[in-house]
Structure 1
Amino acid sequence: MSEDKLKLLSCHFTWDLQKEDADLNFLEVKIRERLAVKCEYEGNLKQREFNFLAFIKHLQGFDDEALKTLQLAKKEHPDDDGSVIVTYGNLAWVHSLMGSVTKAETYIEKVNEILRAFPAPSPAELHREVQSEKAWLLLKFSRKTYVRAKESFLEALQKEPDDKEWNTGFAFSLFRLEGLKIGQYKRVQFEESPAVLQLKKALNLDPDNAMIHVYLGFKCYKNTKTLNNAEAWQYMTQALAMAPDNLSVVLRVAKFMKKEQCYDKSLKVLLEMLKIAPDSSRLHHEIANNYRWKAMQMNDTHNPELLGLCIQHLEKGASLNPGYIYPQLELAQRYAERKQMAKAEQKFTELFALPDLKPADRQAWHRMYGDFKQYRWGSEKAAVEHYKQGMMLGRVSTEWITCRNRLRKILQNDRRDTYGIRTFFHSFRTENKDD
């Protein structure tokens, strides 16, 4: 079969999505957790989730699992209309990759039949259902595809300026892109934020969308024109009332409450959600964080009860998602706080030995292991070496800043510069002028 026929299909395999740009394990976990929550998916959202999951399995090298997942997507919408164009395109690709040429050609013909029966407004345009699935996928896949998502929604808006979905998607794209600037310490002010204006427009068109309320709540948070976060709380409370069983909404509202240091409120929301989604590793991680911060708020970080609950949820989260490293690094630190030093050391050793550890995870490992060496074993020399190793990985995460600050603090207390930190900083600046 000619590969040109496959390339003409509009589906995940032709949308230029690179596996190096995404955290495939985390994406898979998020999708599976959403699917596990027993709430209704509107329209074809569940079919889209299966399509996305199937593509992730393909990128991970498991085309047999991808095919099984696409069959689930097909069952979600058995009718041959515009809603299955992407699903059939994905099926054609996977069958072709697995050597089933006849089946691949069958699905290609199915797509062509649907396009003849339900044509797009013009040959240059995507069918609406395809445009929608592509745009939302770009928004979910990776921060590197946020700009393409924004452009896709904007292109659709130019044809339908008052469309509810396109306005919402465009607003979410702007919110995500401004979030990247926040990560670079360039916070976009509320009054100057294009995302805020677009979110408010989207809310007028779709007032029942809980996630719009959540995003507006975050944009209101610490607004320089207000003395408190009353407006942010109003948005968040409304979102929670509208979607109390939506895992994504609940996690974000709980994180806002944590930022406000309302740990008991956050825990109440999270523990209620845990009854609905007991196997969500993200929920367990967030619950553990709240117990940790609550103990710190009480000036009692070694509180046996809270520390025990924190460890319990970190361990559960680790068992549910062993591929997510950061919570397990926190678990090693909590073991150390409980004076279980051998257990902590073992956990650190196990994590560092994992194959294909991402640079950001490796950087976090060096920072946290450095803290372990400095604050638990009193080995400043070993800590310095790990902070240096962390910095040498580059600005792959915010841990780079933490490693640098740790070294600066040690240097302030060590005028003789016993560990050659000044020399390290100088050589580092020379080699990395952009940093």
Structure 2
Amino acid sequence: MSEDKLKLLSCHFTWDLQKEDADRNFLEVKVRERLAVKCEYGGNLKQREFNFLAFIKHLQGFNDEALKNLQLAKKEHPDDDSSVIVTYGNLAWVHSLMGNVTEAETYTEKVNEILRAFPAPSPTELHREVQSEKAWSLLKFSRKTYIRAKESFLDALQKEPDDKEWNTGFAFSLFRLEGLKIGQYKRVRFEESPAVLQLKKALNLDPDNAMIHVYLGLKCYKNTKNVNSTEVWQYMKQALTMAPDNLSVVLHVAKFMKKEQFYDKALKVLLEMLKKAPDSSRLHHEIANNYRWKAMQMNDVHNSELLGLCIHHLEKGTSLNPGYIYPRLELALRYAEQKQMAKAEQKFTELFALPDLKPADRQAWHRMYGDFKQYRLGSERAAVEHYKQGMMLGRVSTEWIACKNRLRKVLQQDRRDTYEIRTFFHSFRTENKDD
């Protein structure tokens, strides 16, 4: 079938979603975990989840799996109206890519029939359902598509300034973009944040949206120098009350509780959610983190019960999502804390040997393997070498700072600079002036 005809279809395949911009494995995990939770889906949200998952499977090279998910999307909305324009467009593309020319032409014609039966407000405008699915897909796909998501919601807002969905989507876009711009260690006044102003407007229009409460709570927490803890907790508790079955809400609230060092509260929330989503790798990872931090709070990192629970959930989580390297590295360190040095070494070795290890994952490997050498095996020289290797990968993740800080700590205790760390820092600054 002619690709020119396919390019006229408004769907995931024509929205310029580039596979190199996204973590396809993580996107798939998030969608599958959301779908696994038994809860009510409003409107066409479940159909859209299957559409999005189908496109991710295509990007992974599994068009047969993509087709299965599109068929599930079709089942969610069997009527031929504007709500299936994206689904049918995706179906036309997948069938064409699989060589099913007749089916591709059939779905292309179905889209054209719908467009004739339900014309858009103008030739240059998308149907509301299509504009909505496109904007939310851009917001979900990658940080590199946040700006386009914002522009899409803003374009819709200019036509319908008081629309609940457009205001919420625009607020979420600003929240994500502001998070990228501000970074982890910077602060802006809560009252001056454009994201906060828009989130408050969205909340007035959609007071029952739990995620708006979560985002306002996080903004209050991150953007205020003297944090009003009471206000933050109010936002978080309200969100949890509104959406106790929403995996994203639960994870956000629990992570906030963890940062506030209320590990038992976080565990209570997470373990309750685990009953509804027992196969969520993200839940297991977060539960493991809380057991770990609870042990540290007790000044007893080798507490056998808590360490055992931490390892149990890390093992379960990594078995569910082996593509996420970080928990597997953490698991190796926890084995070492159990004095299972050979098992830890084996885990580190097999992880380093993985093909196509991303630079950020490789950097995390060097930092954690360095910690293993330093704190478990007492080999400072080997640890320093790995911290250096981690830094040499550049600022590909926050682990760069972690490696640098560990080298500084070694240097503070070794005035003679046995490992030539000062020379390394100097040469590194010379080669990487931007750093």
Does TM-score exceed 0.5, indicating one fold?
yes
Distance 2:259 2:186 in 1: 19
Distance 1:249 1:230 in 2: 19
Please state how far the C-alpha of 1:410 moved relative to its aligned partner: 1.2
Please state how far the C-alpha of 1:68 moved relative to its aligned partner: 1.0
Provide the TM-score with structure 2 as the length reference.
0.98
Distance 1:111 1:93 in 2: 12
Please state how far the C-alpha of 1:224 moved relative to its aligned partner: 3.6
The answer (yes or no) to whether the contact 2:187–2:224 under 8 Å persists in 1 is no
The question of 1:139 aligning with 2:132 is answered no
- CA deviation vs aligned residue, 1:12-56 (integer Å, no higher than 9, x gap): 111111111111111101100000000011110001100111111
Distance 2:5 2:396 in 1: 39
Distance 1:345 1:226 in 2: 44
**For residues 224 and 28 of structure 1, do their structure 2 counterparts lie closer, same or farther at Cα, with a shift above 3 Å needed?**
closer
Please state how far the C-alpha of 1:183 moved relative to its aligned partner: 2.7
Distance 2:358 2:227 in 1: 41
The answer (yes or no) to whether the contact 1:181–1:188 under 8 Å persists in 2 is no
Distance 2:49 2:302 in 1: 42
1:419 matched residue in structure 2: 419
Distance 1:333 1:16 in 2: 40
Q: What secondary structure, in the 3-state scheme, does the structure 1 residue paired with 2:222 have?
A: coil
Select between 194-203 and 401-410 the one with higher mean Cα deviation. 401-410
1:15 matched residue in structure 2: 15
The answer (yes or no) to whether the contact 1:390–1:403 under 8 Å persists in 2 is yes
- CA deviation vs aligned residue, 1:302-324 (integer Å, no higher than 9, x gap): 11111111011000001111111
**For residues 178 and 223 of structure 1, do their structure 2 counterparts lie closer, same or farther at Cα, with a shift above 3 Å needed?**
closer
Distance 1:183 1:360 in 2: 17
Distance 1:140 1:209 in 2: 18
The answer (yes or no) to whether the contact 1:280–1:320 under 8 Å persists in 2 is yes
Distance 2:188 2:118 in 1: 43
Runs of 4 or more off by more than 6 Å in structure 1? none
Please state how far the C-alpha of 1:184 moved relative to its aligned partner: 5.5
Please state how far the C-alpha of 1:191 moved relative to its aligned partner: 2.0
Please state how far the C-alpha of 1:185 moved relative to its aligned partner: 3.3
| Runs (5+) with no aligned partner, structure 1 | none
The answer (yes or no) to whether the contact 2:187–2:223 under 8 Å persists in 1 is no
2:277 matched residue in structure 1: 277
Provide the TM-score with structure 1 as the length reference.
0.98
- CA deviation vs aligned residue, 1:348-376 (integer Å, no higher than 9, x gap): 11111111111111110110001101111
1:329 matched residue in structure 2: 329
Please state how far the C-alpha of 1:226 moved relative to its aligned partner: 5.0
**For residues 97 and 226 of structure 1, do their structure 2 counterparts lie closer, same or farther at Cα, with a shift above 3 Å needed?**
same
Q: RMSD value over aligned CA atoms?
A: 1.1
Please state how far the C-alpha of 1:212 moved relative to its aligned partner: 0.4
The answer (yes or no) to whether the contact 1:222–1:229 under 8 Å persists in 2 is no
Please state how far the C-alpha of 1:180 moved relative to its aligned partner: 1.2
The answer (yes or no) to whether the contact 1:181–1:187 under 8 Å persists in 2 is no
Distance 1:222 1:206 in 2: 23
Distance 1:139 1:165 in 2: 13
| Runs (5+) with no aligned partner, structure 2 | none
Distance 1:228 1:6 in 2: 53
- CA deviation vs aligned residue, 1:251-293 (integer Å, no higher than 9, x gap): 1111111111111111000010010001100000000111111
Q: What secondary structure, in the 3-state scheme, does the structure 1 residue paired with 2:225 have?
A: coil
Identity of aligned residues (%): 91
